[in-house]
A = this chain, B = another copy of it.
């Protein structure tokens, strides 16, 4: 279907989708605007009618993702926190594993991880828009759990590492460092094990 026959008002989102795929595959530097255009079903020139530069495209991808992410940390979970922090953590982990297991949803986080290494601005943007949000949510859960006497008292930054870390690792092992010809760890099995470890601990008879 030719470009002019599709709805022009959808063009920015179409272009961002295309750019996300291409950037994730080739990296920002390695991606060519011609490839983005091809993916979007447009000519390169047309891209510049909607975005002023390659960098602007990257910024827009991140901003769009950050906005969407905000909606993922649902209100529902925050409410559950006051009732049962442990249940809220279970919900959070289950949902996060679902997201981390999806190759499409993880495109942007993977892209960000790669680009943040060389671009302080992107790192700062992601830090503020996503990571701080996660730390904040976990901090509330933790505080409530400690108050109710059901959770161990640890520092929030440690908790972020202990919970978000396994998610990142799962994402990397599932979509980047793939063992080919071998089925990855299934989300439900991982969920079961991770809840055992994080909630109950690795040791069977804790002595600490």
Residues of B close to A140: CB separation below 8 A: none
Q: What distance in Å separates the Cβ of A31 from its nearest Cβ neighbour in chain B?
A: 9
Number of interface residues of A (CB under 8 A): 67
Knowing A169-B161, A169-B168, A178-B123, the reply to whether A118 touches B27 (Cβ < 8 A) is yes
- In this assembly, does A113 line the interface, its C-beta being within 8 Å of a C-beta of chain B? yes
Partner-binding segment picked from A39-47, A59-67, A199-207: A199-207
A175 to chain B, nearest CB (A): 9
The answer, among B30, B149, B167, B195, for a CB contact under 8 Å with A165, is: B167
- Residues of chain B with a CB closer than 8 A to A30's CB: 29, 118
**Main SS class of interface, A:** helix
B114 touches A117 (CB 8 A): yes
Number of copies: 2
Does A198 count as interface, using CB distance less than 8 angstroms? yes
CA gap between A208 and B86 in the complex, in Å: 12
How far is it, in angstroms, between the C-alpha of A208 and the C-alpha of B29 when the chains are bound?
Answer: 48
Could you list 15 further interchain pairs (A-B, Cβ under 8 angstroms) beyond the known A26-B118, A165-B165, A197-B201?
A: A27-B27, A27-B29, A27-B115, A111-B117, A114-B114, A114-B117, A116-B177, A149-B204, A152-B203, A154-B193, A154-B202, A158-B197, A161-B170, A195-B208, A198-B198
Interface residues of A (CB under 8 A from B): 24-27, 29-30, 86, 89, 110-111, 113-118, 123-124, 126-127, 131, 145, 149-152, 154-155, 157-162, 164-170, 172-173, 176-180, 184-185, 189-190, 193-206, 208
